[in-house]
């Protein structure tokens, strides 16, 4: 076996990954683990590194497309309570990397702390949100981060302070680590006003995407200088279809899958749309999806 007896109880082999992804398609993970403790996580990563087994982290699964061939490596899911804790201390909030972003937001609002309420409705975990610097127009979560703890690919735990963190548009310098704890700096505010702002952000977010329950993901980032809607319309691609995969005609930029959709169909549609938009307008679309 690739992993020692100490960690065998944590490993599931040939685990289907579709249930962990919003699109609910894709293959299996050769190894899959939900570590119970930080020591478990560090040990698993250290052994994977020694055995040269690639490691991937899956959070909410809202931006991941798994190929039908699956992942020939270890997929880690931070789903246990150890990695989902949320604590409020005066004007800061500390959350485990696996905590759902919207749980973090509602906790902050409930404690009358401002700074996150405008992010309501963005899916995924806090760790994924920080690594991808999730945000809205003119604001992002990176501006609130003061400290993180993360485990590198060799299983070593490190602490990163504000001075060593780098955030840009939907990116950070944290792609190669697994975030296990995040500290955010917030400000006190009126609870009723925060609640109103959080609810407003949630309503706006929901209105801009297909109905809940649909197997859907946001496929593209709005290009600079125009909207994804205008770029797709100019290329004649609104509502484009590839097998059981389509672009939402009402909510441009969102991919909707149904029936027996496959990851190959998703990839084919993404490639067709990207090429057509570039040929029509010279715009190079950036995908929000991480292809596994």
Per residue in 19-33, pLDDT (tens digit) is 999 899 999 999 999
pLDDT tens track for 179-222:
999 999 999 999 999 999 999 998 888 777 776 566 888 888 87
pLDDT greater than 70 at residue 251: yes
Q: Which of 12, 170, 197, 288 is catalytic?
A: 170
Number of H helices, E strands in the chain: 6, 23
Q: How far apart are CA 20 and CA 128, in angstroms?
A: 14
Share of the chain above pLDDT 70, in %: 98
Residue with tokens 């246990």: 80
Single pTM value for the model? 0.89
* Residue 170 is a catalytic residue: yes
Domains of the chain: 5-79 (3.30.43.10), 84-207 (3.30.465.10), 216-291 (3.90.78.10)
Q: Give residue 275's pLDDT.
A: 94
CB 286 within 8 A of CB 263: no
Q: Give residue 231's pLDDT.
A: 87
Cα angle, residue 148 at apex, residues 98 and 50 outer, rounded to 5°: 75
Of 86 and 226, more confident: 86
What is the per-residue burial (b if ≥16 Cβ within 10 Å, else e) of 60-87? bbbbbbbbeebbebbbbbbbeebbbebe
Q: Give residue 234's pLDDT.
A: 86
Helix spans in 54-118 (H): 101-110
């Amino acid at each position: 076996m690739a992993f020692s007896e100490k960690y065998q109880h944590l490993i599931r082999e040939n685990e289907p990954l579709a249930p962990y992804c919003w699109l609910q398609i894709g293959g299996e993970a050769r190894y899959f683990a939900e570590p119970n403790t930080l020591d478990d996580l560090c040990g698993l990563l250290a052994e994977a590194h020694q055995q040269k087994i690639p490691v991937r982290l899956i959070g909410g699964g809202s931006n991941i497309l798994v190929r039908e061939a699956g992942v020939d490596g270890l997929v880690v899911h931070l789903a246990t309570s150890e990695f989902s804790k949320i604590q409020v201390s005066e004007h800061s909030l500390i959350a485990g990397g696996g905590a759902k972003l919207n749980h973090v937001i509602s906790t902050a609002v409930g404690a009358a702390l401002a700074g996150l309420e405008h992010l309501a409705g963005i899916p995924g975990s806090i760790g994924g949100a920080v690594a991808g610097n999730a945000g809205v127009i003119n604001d992002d979560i990176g501006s609130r981060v003061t400290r993180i703890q993360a485990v590198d690919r060799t299983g070593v735990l490190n602490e990163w302070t504000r001075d060593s963190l780098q955030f840009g548009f939907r990116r950070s310098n944290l792609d190669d680590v697994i975030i296990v704890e995040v500290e955010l700096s917030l400000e006190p505010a009126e609870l009723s006003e925060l609640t109103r702002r959080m609810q407003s952000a949630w309503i706006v977010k929901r209105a801009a995407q297909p109905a809940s329950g649909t197997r859907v993901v946001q496929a593209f980032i709005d290009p600079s200088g125009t909207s994804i809607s205008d770029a797709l319309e100019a290329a004649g691609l609104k509502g484009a279809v590839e097998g059981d995969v389509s672009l939402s005609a009402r909510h441009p930029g969102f991919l909707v899958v149904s029936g027996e959709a496959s990851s190959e169909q998703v990839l084919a549609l993404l490639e067709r749309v990207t090429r057509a938009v570039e040929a029509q307008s010279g715009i190079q679309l950036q995908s929000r999806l991480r292809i596994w």
